[in-house]
Amino acid sequence: MSYFSDLGLAEPILRALATKGYTDPTPIQRQAIPALMEGRDLLGIAQTGTGKTAAFALPSLHRLAAEATPRKPAACRMLVLSPTRELAAQIADNMKGYAKNLNLFVDCVFGGVPIAKQARRLVGGTDVLVATPGRLLDLIDNRALTLRHVEIFVLDEADQMMDLGFIHALKRVAAMLPAKRQSLFFSATMPKSIEDLGRQFIQNPVKVEVAPQASTAERVEQYVTFINQAEKQALLSLRIRALIADKSLDRSLVFTRTKHGADRVARHLEAAGIPARAIHGNKSQAQRTAALEAFRQGACPVLVATDIAARGIDVAGVSHVFNFELPNVAEQYVHRIGRTARAGADGAAISLCAPDEKAYLRDIEKLTGVKLMPIPLPADFQAEASKLPKPAHKPNDDEDHRGGHARNGRGGGRGQPQGQRNGGGGDRAADGQPKRRFIPRGGPGVGQHRNKVSRVS
């Protein structure tokens, strides 16, 4: 076993890590940090939750501190591009923590907030800038920022960038970066389109691959209930109420395919007496920040999210993930259930599968090699469901929940607006949450088995 102290990182960085309680690097950190400290380009295939942020942040901060140069006006020495607002904010927060004992300044810019204030902050320049592509180009177009002095460039979540339609923005950024630089390219998947994109940024890279896309969290117990679409809301409310009542649920993420669907599910949960918030690209930045903070602090135990808004959300204590609607891209299932069973804790992922979603379920089981354990409906489901109150009707309640999928089915409406384009997410190193056992309640046989996940033959 190796330790951070074995990797040659500067003493101020080691002190910052010790403050956070981090001593043992993750696999991607052990593989990436030595190569990056030598100045090599890197191609990383890694999902969120693998410690990716520290893998690129620690050696980059080490190099910037060792080769200290004065900040240049309206410029940055290191640029980190993130597809979503929340992910950008979490990366910046982590980097500020790692750099707290260094004379390095970290800034973060994204859409949804006034650009003028961000432009003023950049007048004197910064060492590290974390940005979403849309706001980065807005600042460049307004002559508030130049990329001529970038020494280290990081492109994070490249596959998500492609899904959100950022390809043209990334090509513009590539043309503005100096030829002499260190480049780091991270993606959870590596299809040919992503490889082609990577060639525009990296040369002769070190390749690091951890947690392949088809792998699901080993500590996540995975279940499925077959149910008609119209009955899903009642079942979800009853399951969550039961889990809260017996104190099995700490925090739960509920995934929907569309933004209107997320709002609708949250309203039904609230009507059933379950505090819930929705987070998606149509929400203002203030609303998204407030919802995420309430969820993080435990004031709101249920957060309903679209795939795009939730990509990379890393909140400690997520005990359950509910797939209210199965994703029609199987890889997205892996990202969803990866929100639980983090930092050594156990977790449960419960999918509600309508008859027309069975093909999606087959794709998921084929990709992951895991057969989800069926949970039958509770014997008194109809009687209990009839007692649940319903929220006041809203105009968009009648909208088809399957309409308006994003490209490849990974989120909200087609043609993302600026607010959705800089959506939500995050990544950080593990922090040692306690191990617990989570079993869903409410069906015959549920809770009688511990090892419920069997392999597909």
What is residue 212's predicted lDDT score, i.e. its pLDDT? 55
Spatial CA neighbour of 253 closest among 291, 288, 302: 302
What is residue 255's predicted lDDT score, i.e. its pLDDT? 95
Q: Which residues pair with 213 in a beta bridge?
A: none
DSSP line for 140-204: HHTTS---TT-SEEEE--HHHHHHTT-HHHHHHHHHHS-SSSEEEEEES---HHHHHHHHTT-SS
The CA angle 239-428-367, to the nearest 5 degrees, is: 60
Q: Output the CA torsion 191→197→201→205 (10° steps).
A: 20
Q: What is the pLDDT along the chain (457 residues), one digit of tens a residue?
A: 568 989 999 999 999 999 988 889 988 999 999 999 999 999 998 776 678 899 999 999 999 999 989 999 999 999 999 988 888 988 999 999 999 999 999 999 999 889 999 999 999 999 999 999 999 999 999 999 999 999 999 999 888 888 778 889 999 999 999 999 999 999 877 777 788 888 888 988 999 988 655 555 567 899 999 999 999 999 999 999 999 999 989 999 999 998 899 999 999 999 999 999 998 878 887 888 888 889 988 899 999 998 876 665 777 788 999 999 999 888 788 878 877 866 556 789 999 999 999 999 999 999 888 999 999 998 888 888 888 888 875 554 433 333 333 333 333 333 333 333 333 333 333 333 333 434 444 443 343 333 344 334 3
Q: Which domains does the chain have, with CATH numbers?
A: 4-209 (3.40.50.300), 220-455 (3.40.50.300)
Residues 6+ apart with CB under 8 A from 382: none
Contact 265, 405 (CB under 8 A): no
What is residue 310's predicted lDDT score, i.e. its pLDDT? 63
Give the integer Cα–Cα distance in Å for 129 and 107: 5
Give Cα separations from 361 to 126, 189, 201, 445 (angstroms). 47, 20, 36, 22
What is residue 135's predicted lDDT score, i.e. its pLDDT? 96
pTM of the predicted protein model? 0.66
Q: Which conformational region is residue 295 in: left (phi greater than 0), alpha (psi within -120 to 50 degrees), or beta?
A: alpha
CB atoms within 10 A of CB 447: 13
DSSP line for 364-418: HHHHH-EEPEE-PPPTTHHHHHHTS--PPP-GGGGS-TTSSPPGGG-SS-SS--H
Amino acid at 247: K
